[in-house]
Chain A
Amino acid sequence: AVLKIATIAPEGSQWMQEMRKGADEIKTRTAGRVTVKFYGGGVMGNEKSVLRKIRIGQLHGGAFTGGGLIEVYPDISLYSLPMVFRSLDELDYVRSRMDKTLEQGLEGAGFVSFGFAEGGFALIMANKPVRSLDDLRGKKIWVPEGDSNTYAIMEGLGLSPVTLPITDVLTGLQTGLIDIIGTSPIGAIAFQWHTKVQYISTAPLAYLFATLVVDRKVFDKLSVEDQAVVREVMEGIYRQLDTQNRRDNEKASVALGTQGLEFVEFNPGEVEKMRSNVTETVLALGSKGAFSLPLYQEMRRLIEAYHSQPRSGAGGVRP
């Protein structure tokens, strides 16, 4: 069988190189019964197009960001809700206990997932230091077009979001059409946005991640042994990418520092003030069915559990 998988990761990127290596391994270990073909660089269209092509069977799977699968499985947006996590430790604790639930949810929605790969926390990047909610007021804050959740949250905070396609962000920063963006260090460097900003606020805004899914109808047709091989190889790659990306984000952070960008902290209490406001909007979104509220509460409970546990055992080593 041939598994045709699309991704927006560029050809030649490390991500793609790992994936192709994995494809070779699968081919050898299944004695050629399973070939994985990758279409990188977004040539199959955006995530919505890829989803459509999976439905008609032209493609069999794709690498999606959390946002790309909301239509299929709304709860996938949980980790990426804004201002949920305060640190990577919190996040690791929650992920080590919730990844499986989300993977099962995806499977129920008809997609086999091979795990989640970290993209890092989106951080506020701007031309003036941002230390408080007031520093954000009157500034033009970029929101990716069509991202209505983030837009609603910005408006809830009384801020002025500006929607722009990704292609316009670089010139938008250059010309002052937007003043503030939120992205991970890797993302800022990849799109060269870091050349147009001077300050990075360290408070995590939202967690970014990606997942590789394959249509369950197609996957179920593989023999049980072949399924096991594909799972083992792909899950291995995703686990590795997950840890690799954390290191890459750290490296990217350092690189941003050496290139003269300055890291600033929020004033004491500011983040919590924003968080309580944001949480209200998030809860409103949840009660409108944007995600399952019980699962959201479960996530919050886990965060509290992380803080109430004895200090010595802190930190979640993810499986």
Chain B
Amino acid sequence: MIEPQRLFRRLRRVGTLAEDALLIVMLTVMIGLAALQIFLRNILDTGFVWADELLRIQVLWIALLGAVAASRDDNHVNIDLLTRFLPGRWQPATKVIVDLFTAVVCALVAWQAARFVQMEHAYDSTVLGNFPAWIVQSILPVGFAIVAYRYFLFFCKNLGKLLKGVAAP
């Protein structure tokens, strides 16, 4: 019998490992496929009609997987001009606001993306010839949901810190 805390940690480790692995596999396949396409055309005078579309879909997956990986360490592009002029004791409060905002926005996008995927499923949209598009597109809601979840965790953590800071003095 494993206690829930440890199960949770283990799950998270497996999750991040899967994330990284998927990202690396995507990039490797992308380089390989593009090179294969050049080889086939120049040496064997043949090709693979879906190569271009597949490569572009991989770009989308890399975009989302990369964004998910970036959210792990809260490492997204930001401007952060005001915080350096704010008094230090305000920092945790602004952090809490920003984390909550990001989590809510990403959750909203994830929800809308889920509706989009559902619609594509309903209309039997296809990619790569006859492959169901919704499978490929699922990365949108899933990716944004994970980012939302991560920022929600940051929010909880920073809120905890903030409350402790208020209670301490």
Q: Do A and B touch each other in the complex, judged by CB within 8 A?
A: yes
Nearest chain B CB to A70 CB, angstrom units? 11
Tier of interface size on chain A: 10 to 19
Q: Is the CB of A138 within 8 A of B45?
A: yes
Given A52-B116, A163-B52, 4 other A-B contacts at CB below 8 A?
A55-B123, A160-B41, A160-B45, A164-B52
Q: How far is the CA of A147 from the CA of B120 in the complex (A)?
A: 20
Q: How far is the CA of A151 from the CA of B53 in the complex (A)?
A: 14
A10 within 8 A of B: no
A71 within 8 A of B: yes
Q: Which residues of B contact A147 (CB under 8 A)?
A: 49
* Interface residues in B112-166 (C-beta closer than 8 Å to A): 116, 119-120, 123, 125-126, 129
Q: Is the CB of B119 within 8 A of A145?
A: no
Q: Which residues of B contact A162 (CB under 8 A)?
A: 41, 47
Complex A-B, nearest 7 residue pairs according to Cβ-Cβ distance, in ascending order: A145-B52, A151-B49, A160-B45, A146-B53, A148-B49, A148-B129, A163-B52
Contact with B along A218-229 (1 / 0, CB 8 A): 000000000000
Q: Is the CB of A163 within 8 A of B45?
A: no
* Interface residues in B13-69 (C-beta closer than 8 Å to A): 41, 45-47, 49-53
A interface, by DSSP: helix, strand, loop or mixed?
mixed
Q: How far is the CA of A162 from the CA of B46 in the complex (A)?
A: 8
- Could you show 26 A-B contacts with beta carbons less than 8 Å apart? A48-B125, A52-B116, A52-B120, A55-B119, A55-B123, A56-B119, A71-B123, A71-B126, A138-B45, A140-B41, A143-B49, A145-B49, A145-B52, A145-B53, A146-B50, A146-B53, A147-B49, A151-B49, A160-B47, A161-B49, A162-B41, A163-B47, A163-B49, A163-B51, A163-B52, A164-B52
A165 within 8 A of B: yes
Q: How far is the CA of A148 from the CA of B116 in the complex (A)?
A: 26
Report how many residues on chain B are interfacial, defined by Cβ distance under 8 Å.
16
* Interface residues in A49-77 (C-beta closer than 8 Å to B): 52, 55-56, 71
Q: Which residues of A contact B116 (CB under 8 A)?
A: 52
Q: Which residues of A contact B45 (CB under 8 A)?
A: 138, 160
Contact with B along A159-171 (1 / 0, CB 8 A): 0111111000000
Q: How far is the CA of A151 from the CA of B41 in the complex (A)?
A: 14
Q: How far is the CA of A160 from the CA of B116 in the complex (A)?
A: 37
Known: A146-B52, A146-B53. A161 touches B47 (CB 8 A): yes
Of all chain B residues, the one with the shortest Cβ separation from A152 is B49
Q: Which residues of B contact A160 (CB under 8 A)?
A: 41, 45-47
Nearest chain A CB to B34 CB, angstrom units? 13
Q: How far is the CA of A288 from the CA of B49 in the complex (A)?
A: 18
Contact with B along A77-102 (1 / 0, CB 8 A): 00000000000000000000000000
Q: Which residues of B contact A161 (CB under 8 A)?
A: 47, 49
* Interface residues in A152-196 (C-beta closer than 8 Å to B): 160-165
Q: How far is the CA of A3 from the CA of B49 in the complex (A)?
A: 37
